[in-house]
Amino acid sequence: MSENKQIAIEEGSTNVYADLGYADAAEMQRKSQLAAEIARAIKARRLTQGGAAELLGIDQSKVSRITRGQFRGVSEAKLLELVAKLGRDIKIVVGPMRRRVGKIELQFA
C-alpha cells in the first residue's frame, strides 16, 4: 500500500541565489551569467581548457572552475575582461535611476 503524499512546490523568483538567501544574490546571478557566457564562448570557439587558459592568460584550473560555476573569488570586472578576451563586445550603459536604488542588469545578444 502506498500513501498519496502531496509535495509542496514553491515557485521561485528569477534569481536562485536570492531564493537561497544569499546576501549578495544580485552579484552572484550576474557572475553566473558571465561564467555561462565564458563557457559558451569557449565551446563556440572549440577551445580546450588549456587553449582557453592560454588565450585568457589564466591557469587552466581557473578556467575549469569558472566554467563549472565556481566563480567565488573572481570579480565581476575580471569575468567581464575574460568575456571580452573571448571576442564578445561588452556595453555598459549608465542612465538615470527610476527607483531609490539603481540596479545592474546583464543582457546577452
**pLDDT tens figures, 62-102:** 999 999 999 989 999 999 999 999 999 988 888 777 777 77
Amino acid at 34: L
pLDDT category of residue 2 using cuts at 50, 70 and 90: low
Please tell me which residue, 85 or 10, carries the higher pLDDT value: 85
Mean pLDDT taken over the chain: 89
Choice among 31-40, 42-51, 81-90, 93-102 with the minimum mean pLDDT: 93-102
Residue 8 is placed in which grid cell?
509542496
Q: How many helices (H) and strands (E) does the chain have?
A: 5, 0
Tell me the domains of the chain and their CATH numbers: 16-85 (1.10.260.40)
